[in-house]
Amino acid sequence: MRTMNRRQALQLLAACTAATAGAPILRALPCAAAGLPSLQEERLLLGTIVGITAVAPSAHQAQEAMDAAFATINRLDGILSRYNPRTPLSALNAHGQLHDIPGELQTVMEYGLELHKATAGRFDMTIAPVLDLLERTQANPDPADLREALALVDSGRIRMAGGHLALAQDMAITLDGVAKGYIADAAAQTLRAHGIAHFLVDAGGDIRAQGSPEGHASGRPWVVAIEDPEKRGQYPTTIPLRDGAVATSGGYEHPVGATTHHLLDPRSGRSPQHVRSVSVIAPTVMQADGLATALSLMPPREALRLIASLPGCACFLVTASGGCLASPGWPA
């Protein structure tokens, strides 16, 4: 939803554990072992490459379900994108208020506000004016302009009640840190509604998996590899996923300047340099997406303390020095 650059922080290895010993594969593939047939398709959506793999008794059922899931993604992008001037979010940013807020936008906003509180303000949806300023100036803004943009950043000033959403003057919202995860969750729900029990949704690295690539309960899990931020073709860790979500954030994904990227501290407008990437496992992709963004803005010890307090969540950090830190609960 943010740029046309594909988030490459999470790359898929072969679905079979045995296949991981070979050259890295950039998508989920069906196991060679006997099982149900699978269909895999990629489309350019949300400013990235979205891939869906569905395992079903028939190719017709899998294709029908995937088409419905892609339609869900398109519909929600038409609500939550700030780059499309016709979306409700763009209308909110243009006019400062929105009546009859769509339920999907309200859900994402409510989680963003919850995450804002849980992270002591580190995650802030109102960072949009600062991000826009840095992109316009190639990360070299006039100090006075930066101070003016930072004065607009405060999710605590968002007012949402009775289907009405209002921002203070000149504020603007970006949902880049949570919307793609929410949309991936919705795509997964669409697949389930069409009778698909074994699938993988990869929305540019925001991943939701269920079941097995073999299509039966005793089959091997999906396998996901965390990419090396230095792009050396290495994978610091791989994880099995049978029913869950994982997302990664890293400053290397969308650089704005030499030391500035899309992950910004709302207090300073600068990009923290504590970690190179943060991967999060969570019950939903929206949670994983939002937490990966928020933890990227924290020192490692603070990030580990926060994730330990959240049920069903775990994280894996690649630090600025190249070290790796895993929270309790992260798969060995």
Question: What is the pTM assigned to this prediction?
Answer: 0.87
> What is the C-alpha to C-alpha distance for residues 38 and 174, in angstroms, rounded to an integer?
36
Task: Note the CATH number of domain 88-166.
Answer: 1.10.3980.10
pLDDT given at position 229: 66
pLDDT given at position 131: 92
pLDDT given at position 35: 66
Q: Return the biggest CA–CA distance within the chain.
A: 64
Nearest to 205 by CA among 55, 24, 6: 6
pLDDT given at position 226: 82
pLDDT given at position 139: 86
Which residues of the chain carry a pLDDT beneath 70?
1-35, 228-234, 251-262
pLDDT given at position 271: 85
pLDDT given at position 231: 59
Return the structure tokens found at 210. Answer: 């269920």
Give helix 59-80 / helix 103-118 axis angle, nearest 10°: 70
Nearest to 233 by CA among 29, 27, 24, 26: 24
Q: Would you tell me how many other CB atoms lie within 10 Å of the CB of residue 74?
A: 13
**Under 8 Å CB-to-CB from 61, ≥6 apart: which residues?**
194, 195, 196
